[in-house]
Each structure stands twice: as structure tokens, then as C-alpha cells.
Amino acid sequence: MTRPAALRGTGLHTGAATEATFLPAPAGRGIVFRRTDLAGKPEIPARLTEVEAVERRTAIGHGAATVHTVEHLLAAVAAHGIDDLTVELTGPEPPILDGSVQPYFDALSRAEPTTVGGEAVVLSVQAPFTVTDKDATYVVAPDKCFRLTVTIEWPHPLIGTQAGTYEVTPERFAAELAPARTFGFTHEVAELQARGLIKGASAANAIVLDERGVVAGGTLRWPDEFVRHKAADIVGDLALTGARIQAHVVATKPSHGGNIALARALARAGRRTGMPAMDISKIMDYLPHRYPFLLVDRIIEVEGLKRIVGIKNVTINEPFFQGHFPGHPIMPGVLIIEAMAQVGGMLLMTHFEGQDTANKVVYFMSLDNVKFRRPVVPGDQIRFELEMLQFRGKTCKMKGAGFVDGQVVAEAEMMAMVVDK
């Protein structure tokens, strides 16, 4: 961005007056919200790990700081192909403005996004898969671009069944999706407000429908404005993967809860390129393990001291398959947990980068809530995701899970500490 940009208005659900300011960020930072109205100006990364609520909006938070209804702003950011950005907020929710993504998209256009170096992170899929969440269903297939096919159904004379297919490029998003506004129904108002939602909603910032049509003499920007807005919501929610999507998503009756379930499935099953990674040489600088007990091949994501993702490629050449079991090779569960622990050890050791890591080693102190969900066999690639739950001094508690083809194979909580050799 060559210049900052700001928008002021009222939050849809909190009703709070807020100013949102877009500021440039260095390459690799990602999209980060900063609550300038709170002590210490806490930051909330736009990541799936920070999702707190999905009822009628997507809210993210970290510690005591929460940002509600991030999907419109993030849709504009994603449509522009912006990978790194700081968003300062003077309140708990970006303003709803006219109820569409367009004001955010236009503000970012005026800020003139620029290239700051680094390689964009792209998330693609290699084979089709399906995600369901309550009434929402998504089929994801490989594609050379980000494409959406969306179908919605509502028993209302202006909606009924609507469907559309959209390619998400800056130009087509601006023309086909950005102006589509959020919508709601008069019969839901009292119930939603009783639950602390839509405190800032009005006919000026949403399409409000009664049983006959649009209230207050409002008009639609397209007859199918409703499905277009739902498509824009998907773009915003998938931005929480921290990557540019390269896939065809076919969504039926999408919801924020379903979109987040889809985003998590994409993050686990998809292939990321452009990620800063630690190859085996870097791993061996940190971990003392060697053949046949080095059980992590690559680190593909590191988010400070908060989260790490690592890969273990399982081949028939693993020595333990000779005895576990002859003619029926299955990776021992204890070694799956050991591999998970090694990825967690990498997360802990990154905190001591710049120190004498060659003379430090990670000891694991306890394991809790260990569960094995399905066997791991030759040819599988295990994706380990671990997050830091607590860190004090040289001791930490982590929670981790291993996935094969997007399905959980094992999970555990573990405590560890770094000691000098």
C-alpha cells in the first residue's frame, strides 16, 4: 500500500462506532487486526486458530480482545490479493457501512496495494473432497484459480433457490460480488437482539425483508443479490486460512460455521506453496534426533511461539514396519506421538533461536488425552498441527493433532521443557 485508508461507521452486531484504518505491513506478517481502543493495543491475527464465534458472523479473538464480523473486510482484502496488512480498529467490530464489501474494496483500491517482496502463499487441492456442517455442504475440487459455485434456498418470494458461479479475481469480484449486501428478516429481529446481535442493523446497512418483500421501499441491486452476498462471505471466511485459494468450491446452503469448517478442511488437506519452511537441514540444527528416530521431514508453518505445522512422510522403508506388523504394516501409535512431539519440540526451540541451540534439548514431561483415531500406513503423509497453550520460562504445554488426508489420526496434549545438554 502506498498510503493508509480509513473508514468510519457502526458495527452490525455490537452497534459500536468504530474507525477501521488500513496500514502497510512487512512481507510475511499476514493480516493482523489491532484494537487501539484497548490497553496495550492487542493484536489479533486473522487466522483460523483465533476464530471465536460463527453465529450470524465470524468473530476472531486473542486473549481478552475480540473482533466481530471480519468477513466483509477480509473478503475485500482477499479479492485484492493482499497478503500482509495491519488493520487498526477503534472498537470491537469493523463498521458495516452499506452492508456490502464494496466500501472496503474501494478503500483498498484507493490505498494502492503494492508488492513488498516475498512469495504469496497459495493453498491448492490435489483431489476432490467434501465438507458438511449442519445444512451446509461443500465440494472442493482442483482448479487453476479460485472459483465459487454457490446455491442457496430460502422460503421467501424474493429468494427461493438462487445459484451462481464466480471467478474470484479483483475485477470480477468488484463487478459481481462486492456490491451485494447482507440481508435479514423482520421476524428474526427481536430474537437476535435478545441474543446480543444486530444491535447496529438498519435498512440503511442491510436488505431487510418481511413476508412480502423489501421493507422501507428498498430495492435490490440484482435479483440474485442474496446468493452473491453469500459468495462474498465465503471469500472472507476462507481468508482466515492465511493463503490465496486455488480451488473450485461448490457450496450449497453455506453458513459462517460451514465456511470455517471448510477453511479448516482446506488448511489440512490442501497443499501450500510459498510458505516459509524449515527443511531437514534446519530441523537437524534444532533436534538432536538422527536416523532411525528423526520423525519429522519438514516444517511448513510457524506462527511465532503460538503454532507450528510439520510433515512426516511415511514410507515402507521405515525400519519399524519390519516387525509392526509383517504383512500388515501399521505405524506404531507411540511413534506417531513421538513424531508429533518432535514437531512440538521445533516450536519450542524456535523461541531460543539465536542462542546456543546445539547445546539444548527438549524433554517431554507428560502426555494427556492421547487418542488414536485411525491407522497410519505406508504412503501416508501425516500433517501435525500443534498450538501453544501455555509457556513459562523454559516449560510449556501444547495441544496437537495429526491428520492424513484431512482426517484426524491422533491427538494429544503434552508438556515439555528445554534443558541444557
Question: Could you give the domains of the chain?
Answer: 5-111 (3.30.230.20), 122-273 (3.30.1700.10), 280-420 (3.10.129.10)
Report the alpha-carbon angle 200-73-156, nearest 5. Answer: 60
256 flagged as catalytic: yes
Residue of 156, 289, 324, 351 marked active site: 324
324 flagged as catalytic: yes
Lowest mean pLDDT among 48-52, 173-177, 203-207: 48-52
- Cell match 482466515: residue? 240
pLDDT band at 315 (very low <50, low <70, confident <90, very high): very high
Q: What is the pLDDT of residues 183-218, one digit of tens each?
A: 999 999 999 999 999 999 999 999 999 999 999 888
Q: pLDDT value at position 354?
A: 67
Q: Which residue type does 100 have? A: S
DSSP annotation string for 128-187: -EEEEETTEEEEEEE-SSEEEEEEEEESSTTTEEEEEEEE--HHHHHHHTTTPPPEEEGG
**Does 87 score more than 90 pLDDT?**
yes
Residue of 13, 68, 80, 256 marked active site: 256
**Does 119 score more than 80 pLDDT?**
no
Picking from 152, 147, 162, the residue whose alpha carbon sits closest to that of residue 253 is 152
Task: Compute the distance between CA of residue 208 and CA of residue 197 in angstroms, rounded to an integer.
Answer: 15
Q: pLDDT value at position 108?
A: 97
Q: pLDDT value at position 75?
A: 98
Surface-to-core class of residue 97, CB atoms within 10 Å of its CB (0-12 exposed, 13-18 middle, 19+ buried): buried
| DSSP 8-state symbol, 355 | B
Picking from 49, 27, 53, the residue whose alpha carbon sits closest to that of residue 256 is 53
